[in-house]
Amino acid sequence: MRKRTWFMITLIIAVIFIGYGYTKHVENNQYYQELLSQAESAINDQAYQTAQIDLENALKKKKNGETAQVYLKQVKFYRHGMKAIEKKQYQIAKKNFQQAAQQDNGMQILVSRATAKQTELQEVLRELPIFERAYRRAKILSTNYEYTASNTKLAVILGYGNIKQAYYSEIYQRAQKLQTYNNRILTKLGYHVDSGVSATDSSATDFLPGSSSSKTDTASLKKITAKQVKQARRDLTKEGVDADLFSDTQVKQVIQEANNQGVSVRQIAREFK
């Protein structure tokens, strides 16, 4: 009788523990599924940090949860890719997105986004070196007083369809600034500039001192003598400017600009450097 009593007690305790274990298992699995669902919603909303936290918590409830493990790897690779973009480390970013896209049984929306990022970065990595070379050439042309040719080279950059994307912000700003400088010089020389960028735009102040906004007076140009033009050419040459690149009319415009500003031709010539 006594043995039977102990057997019953042991059986009851075993049933309780088994039941508790099963209940706990069911409960953990339920939490796992809920956290997995939350992570998927967060990924859809591009809240990747939140998704990572949910997936890490899901794996605390179910350590061998394969779906959560795969999604977590994807999210980590994707986040690393985004951080690399912020640091302008585009090659590293591309590799991270590639790994995110190649995870077996990964979340499809992350595969699609990571693949799109790869394609985008491939274009960036192809175009940026081209733009850098174009800018360097445009800078050399501008330094050699070939302002129109410089602008033509800058058109490779400024005419690119996606140039306003954040990837290109630095080269875009430099190209705009150089174009503004070129246009300001061309306007001083009497050329019509059609670029959508004002020749007296404040962004050009890093390159040149301020200039008069008054238009060249044709009558005043006619009063400038050949002797003055000859002297102005000598002044331009003394400042290292190739005076042969200027027509007589352009030299007269330089003289007129000097008169407008109340400065010498040599001071105006320094603006062309």
Q: Each residue of 27-68: pLDDT tens digit?
A: 667 888 888 889 999 999 999 999 999 999 888 888 888 999
Q: Is 155 in the same domain as 182? A: yes
Determine contact, residues 160/176, Cβ cutoff 8 Å: no
- 71, 126, 167 from 151: Cα distances, Å: 49, 22, 22
Determine contact, residues 138/150, Cβ cutoff 8 Å: yes
Q: What is the pLDDT of residue 201?
A: 39
Q: What is the pLDDT of residue 24?
A: 55
Above pLDDT 90, what percent of the chain?
41
**How many residues are present in the chain?**
273
For the residues 155-180, what does the mean pLDDT come to?
93
Q: What is the pLDDT of residue 270?
A: 67
Q: Which residue has the tokens 């150089």?
A: 178
Instruction: Note whether residue 170 is domain-resident.
Output: yes
Q: What is the pLDDT of residue 12?
A: 58
Residue 29 to residue 26: CA distance in whole angstroms: 5
Residue 84 to residue 92: CA distance in whole angstroms: 6
Q: Is 118 in the same domain as 202? A: yes
Average pLDDT taken over every residue of the chain: 81
Q: Is 115 in the same domain as 202? A: yes
Q: Is 97 in the same domain as 83? A: yes
**What would the two tokens of residue 185 be?**
């010089």
Give me the sign of the Cα torsion angle 30, 32, 38, 43. Answer: negative
For the chain, the domain total comes to 3
**Which of 151, 174, 208 corresponds to the end of one domain?**
208
**Amino acid of residue 254:** V
Instruction: Note whether residue 12 is domain-resident.
Output: no
**Which of 187, 208, 229 corresponds to the end of one domain?**
208
Highest mean pLDDT among 101-110, 230-239, 257-266: 101-110
Q: Is 65 in the same domain as 79? A: yes
Range of the domain at 230: 217-273
User: Helix 66-86 to helix 48-61 angle, to the nearest 10 degrees?
Assistant: 150
Residue 228 to residue 244: CA distance in whole angstroms: 16
Instruction: Note whether residue 21 is domain-resident.
Output: no
Instruction: Note whether residue 5 is domain-resident.
Output: no
- 30, 43, 116, 124 from 51: Cα distances, Å: 18, 6, 20, 28
Q: Is 228 in the same domain as 260? A: yes
Q: Is 115 in the same domain as 203? A: yes
Higher pLDDT, 101 or 214: 101
pLDDT digits (tens, 9 = 90+) for 101-153: 999 899 999 999 999 999 999 999 999 999 999 999 999 988 888 888 899 89
**What would the two tokens of residue 38 be?**
């939350």
Instruction: Note whether residue 14 is domain-resident.
Output: no
Instruction: Note whether residue 2 is domain-resident.
Output: no
Q: Is 152 in the same domain as 99? A: no
Residue 70 to residue 219: CA distance in whole angstroms: 79
Q: Is 47 in the same domain as 102? A: yes
Q: What is the pLDDT of residue 219?
A: 73
Instruction: Note whether residue 18 is domain-resident.
Output: no
For the residues 193-207, what does the mean pLDDT come to?
43
Higher pLDDT, 188 or 233: 233
pLDDT digits (tens, 9 = 90+) for 12-23: 555 555 554 545
Instruction: Note whether residue 101 is domain-resident.
Output: yes
Q: Is 102 in the same domain as 171? A: no
**Which of 106, 135, 166 corresponds to the end of one domain?**
106
